[in-house]
């Protein structure tokens, strides 16, 4: 018995790297967080010492990053991403397009300004700690959202998407630019939306195959992660690996939304809103603003979103309770959900 205990202690002190003897590539977005990669030589030295000759920081735009991820996923077992939510989304898109989702592990080292995805996955912001998780963590499946062939972890239709578009059009970047663009929320009306929900459950625990709603909506949030950028807890009931889209409907007016925004930011106000877990959602309306992964798209008349269960494997913290939501194979605590 004594020998068994000593053996367990040694395994904890000296865990084996899960990326050892694997083909590894590091993808860096040099433009993330106002060129943080270029401004902080200490980060570069640290990563180049660990992964000499395997760092790729040449892609500076979305199409280039997707193409780079697609190419590298074909010849590597692990892709380590240094960037924010947009960079991670582009890499995931490339891996999916290459048909390598089942074979490639994704490691996350936060370098962006938003980092909503890493926060929802329990990955620390400190680069050295995040790298330790990449080396010694636990690979776990995550779900994604399918949107017209694009993959996403966060989508919104309505007011926040319109603000994202205004931010993209502004010459002022970062949180200041986003705050200035948010002034347009005061003028944003509630949109007439026809919403169809498929294979889901409501907050009362009542399961349904199809539910149709016709509402005036200020913002419709469809997430797999809990957060938007800047630590905004927009979807407190979302789970990254439960096999469902998390849908929250903000049906309040603009002035009410802004008045209660502190409660919305911390996820408190969402308790009184219409909320569903579904496999698919279709939204129809006129000139619907939409954003996915923080990127605004042109307004459209309809949006069709579906869940992709176990889409990719991401390296998360070790331990049973470190991954948000239920463990794979555990019963879900949400009433009415099927595993």
Domain 15-136 falls in which CATH fold?
A: Rossmann fold (3.40.50)
- Identify the pLDDT of residue 175: 63
pLDDT tens track, the chain, 339 positions: 444 444 444 445 667 899 999 999 999 988 765 667 767 777 788 888 888 889 998 866 889 999 999 999 999 999 999 988 888 999 999 999 999 999 999 999 988 666 778 888 889 988 889 999 999 999 999 999 999 999 999 999 999 998 887 766 555 566 655 565 566 677 788 999 999 999 999 988 999 999 999 999 999 999 999 998 778 899 999 999 999 999 999 999 999 998 999 999 999 999 999 999 999 999 999 999 999 988 889 999 999 999 999 999 999 998 644 455 433 333 334 444 443
Q: What is the pTM of this model?
A: 0.85
Cα 110 vs. chain centroid, distance in angstroms? Answer: 12
- Give the separation between CA 16 and CA 318, rounded to whole angstroms: 12
Question: What's the CATH number for 150-310?
Answer: 2.60.200.40
Exposure string of 256-267, with b = 16+ CB inside 10 Å and e = fewer, is ebeeeeeebeeb
- Identify the pLDDT of residue 33: 58
Structure tokens at 256: 């009410």
Q: How is residue 25 annotated by DSSP?
A: E
- Provide the residue ranges of all domains of the chain, joining segments of one domain with +: 15-136, 150-310
Give, for 168, the enclosing helix (H) or strand (E).
helix 159-169
- Identify the pLDDT of residue 52: 83
């Amino acid at each position: 018995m004594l020998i068994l205990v000593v053996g367990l202690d040694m395994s904890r002190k000296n865990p084996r790297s899960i990326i050892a003897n694997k083909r590894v590539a590091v993808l860096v977005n040099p433009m993330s967080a106002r060129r943080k990669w270029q401004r902080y030589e200490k980060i570069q030295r640290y990563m180049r010492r660990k992964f000499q000759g395997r760092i790729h920081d040449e892609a500076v735009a979305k199409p280039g990053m997707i193409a780079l991820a697609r190419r590298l996923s074909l010849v590597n077992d692990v892709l380590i991403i240094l960037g924010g939510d947009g960079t991670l989304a582009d890499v995931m898109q490339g891996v999916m397009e290459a048909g390598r989702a089942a074979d490639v592990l994704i490691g996350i080292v936060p370098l962006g300004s938003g980092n909503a995805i890493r926060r929802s996955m329990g990955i620390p912001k400190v680069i050295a700690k995040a790298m330790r998780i990449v080396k010694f963590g636990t690979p776990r499946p995550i779900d994604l959202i399918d949107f017209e062939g694009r993959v996403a972890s966060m989508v919104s239709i309505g007011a926040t998407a319109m603000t994202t578009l205004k931010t993209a059009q502004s010459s002022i970047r970062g949180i200041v630019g986003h705050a200035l663009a948010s002034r347009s929320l005061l003028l944003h009306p509630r949109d007439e939306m026809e919403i169809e929900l498929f294979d889901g459950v409501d907050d009362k625990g009542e399961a349904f195959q199809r539910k149709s709603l016709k509402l005036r909506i200020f913002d419709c949030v469809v997430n797999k992660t809990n957060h938007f950028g800047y630590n905004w807890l927009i979807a407190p009931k979302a789970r990254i690996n439960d096999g469902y889209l998390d849908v929250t409907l903000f049906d309040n007016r603009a002035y009410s939304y802004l008045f209660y925004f502190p409660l919305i930011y911390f996820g408190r106000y969402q308790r009184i809103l219409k909320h569903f877990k579904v496999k698919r959602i279709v939204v129809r309306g006129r000139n619907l603003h939409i954003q996915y992964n923080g990127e605004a798209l042109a307004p459209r008349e309809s949006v069709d979103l579906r869940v992709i269960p176990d889409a990719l494997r991401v390296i998360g913290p070790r331990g049973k309770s470190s991954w948000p939501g239920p463990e794979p194979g555990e019963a879900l605590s949400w009433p009415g959900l099927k595993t």
